[in-house]
Amino acid sequence: MKKTIITVLGKDKVGIIAKVCNYLAQNNINILDIAQTIVDGYFNMMMVVSTENASKDHAMIADELTDIGKEIGVQIKAQQEEIFDMMHRL
């Protein structure tokens, strides 16, 4: 199963996760795992999702998530998992 990693970076505030989750639900994207941490005072969230049955392709999901991020003042990226696997796993 191809996994996508969605990351959110910015100042913590109410409703960030809700907003992202809403978008994912609307597009039939299943959340497999969520983790979050604070680095240098910034809110970092990572979601592992499956886009297997998603209604849109990766490029469109990535663009729309970036736009949602701009709306609420955080940075949102969607990347396929392989880049992290390649860099951190042998």
Partner 1 sequence: MISINEVIETNEMIQKMNLDVRTITMGISLLDCVGADLKETCQKIYDKITTSAKDLVSTGQDISKKYGVPIVHKRISVTPIALVGGSVCKTEDDFVEIAKTLDAAATTCGVNFIGGYSALVSKGMTKADELLIRSIPKALATTNKVCSSVNAGSTKTGINMDAVKLIGEIILEAAELTKEADSIGCAKFVVFCNAPDDNPFMAGAFHGVTEADRIINVGVSGPGVVKAAIETVRGENFEVLCETIKKTAFKITRVGQLVAKEASERLGVPFGIIDLSLAPTPAVGDSVGEILEEIGLEFAGAPGTTAALAMLNDQVKKGGVMASSYVGGLSGAFIPVSEDQRMIDAVSAGALTLEKLEAMTCVCSVGLDMIAIPGDTKATTISGIIADEMALGMINQKTTAVRIIPVIGKGVGETVEFGGLLGYAPIMPVNQFSCDAFINRGGRIPAPIHSFKN
- Measured at the alpha carbon of residue 34, what is the angle toward residues 39 and 66, in degrees to the nearest 5? 75
Piece of the chain touching partner 1 by CB under 8 A; list 11-19, 21-29, 40-48: 40-48
CB 51 within 8 A of CB 2: yes
Q: Which is nearer to partner 1, 28 or 79 (CB)?
A: 79
**Does residue 20 bind partner 1 (CB under 8 A)?**
no
Task: Scan residues 46-85 and list those touching partner 1 (CB under 8 A).
Answer: 46, 48, 58-59, 62, 77-85
**CA 48 to each of CA 40, 53, 67, 83: distance values in angstroms, whole numbers, following the listed order:** 23, 15, 19, 13
Tokens of 84: 């992290």
Q: In the complex, which residues of this chain contact partner 1 (CB under 8 A)?
A: 5, 7, 9, 33, 35-37, 39, 44, 46, 48, 58-59, 62, 77-89
